[in-house]
Amino acid sequence: MTLSPVTSGYTRWDQSDRRLVSSDETEWFAGGTDLIPLARSGVLDLDSVVDIKSSHLERTVQRIDDRWRIGALATLSDLAEHEELTATVPAIAQAVSQSATLQIRHRATVAGNLLQRPRCSYFRDPSISCWMKGGSDCPARDGRNEHHALIDEPCVATQPSDLASVLVALDADVNIDGHDGSERTVPVAELLQRPVADRRSLHTLESGDVITSLEFTDPGTSRSTYLKAMNRAVWQFALVGVAAIVDIDDRHTVVSASLVASGVDSVPRRLTTSSETLTGRELTASSIASAADAAADGLTELSENGYKTALLRGLVQRSLEPMRGG
């Protein structure tokens, strides 16, 4: 354990000098709400940190025509407190305001929120070897996996971001300033990928790449919600969360539905069957039940997390019920 994680190698980002950030050993630092605990616990050795908190990157949240643009340095609190955004897409404020604690939300940035390391307790214990840290096995698969994903993969950590599920439901994009100087736009759903043997990470961002902003199309009259289940009222990563964006026409028929779950996969998991089940149907107890029943399709229960399938179905039902009528 090291109280002062960085004694040397701290640099403020100068956009003109790319070399600083094109090494695997270099970490971006903005809010630091994930990086500092990882370094303090000894999971990460921070040899080189590049601070982008006071860089040129944007912190603004704005709508330009029908597109929302959120600067990479906007904090979770900035989103929660943005009146127009909250009124338009309540799910965003619901997701961020149920994340962590107020103190953390004041520091944590939206880009950093998408790039968190796994919150798996085995991953976070420096004395335990795990697949994600380069080891051969995942101790959670047959261990204490009550909080883990319902998947049969080499790593069963969940994607910890609540916001990510809402962004995927909105088909949001991230704008990336690439390490080679190129700029590109990538859907959040492509940024956040299940880890594979030669990329043991919950995301696909390469060394030296930096997220500059997020963008998504205003969902207009669609209703949105994010429900989150925790074992206490606040301050726990989602056991399961459900983001729902549903467009319902004048005749109460679902024009489109986009349901995405947190806490059940190592990515925000699109509940494709549930979403398709609803489309073209009126939102009734029966159609909601069909969507809920289909929510856990394709998921694999581990030794201690089987309850999550019931929880997922329950949250899907609870997320859709208030959208009926009115």
Which residues here bind another protein, judged by CB under 8 A? 1-4, 42, 121-122, 125, 127-128, 139, 142-144, 146, 229, 231-236, 239, 304-307, 310-311, 313-315, 317-318, 321
Which residue, 222 or 313, is less far from another protein as judged by CB? 313
Nearer to another protein, 58 or 301 (CB): 301
Nearer to another protein, 85 or 157 (CB): 157
Nearest to 298 by CA among 274, 316, 280, 319: 274
Nearest distance, CB of residue 99 and another protein, angstroms: 13
The one-letter amino acid code at 285 reads A
- Among the listed residues 76, 131, 136, 83, the one whose alpha carbon sits nearest the alpha carbon of residue 105: 76
Nearer to another protein, 77 or 129 (CB): 129
* Complex with another protein: residue 63 or 144, whichever CB lies closer: 144
d(CA 268, CA 119): 15
Closest approach of Cβ 251 to another protein, in Å? 25
Of 173, 163, 176, 167, the residue nearest 206 (C-alpha): 176
Question: What is the Rg, in whole angstroms, of the alpha carbon atoms belonging to the chain?
Answer: 20
Give backbone dihedrals phi and psi of 309, rounded to 5 degrees, phi first: -70, -40
Q: Is the dihedral of CA 100, 217, 293, 153 positive or negative?
A: negative
Minimum Å gap between C-beta 182 and another protein is 37
Q: Which amino acid is at 97?
A: S
Nearest approach, Cβ of residue 63 and another protein (Å): 32
Q: Is 263 left (phi over 0), alpha (psi -120 to 50) or beta?
A: left
- Least CB distance from residue 309 to another protein, whole Å? 9
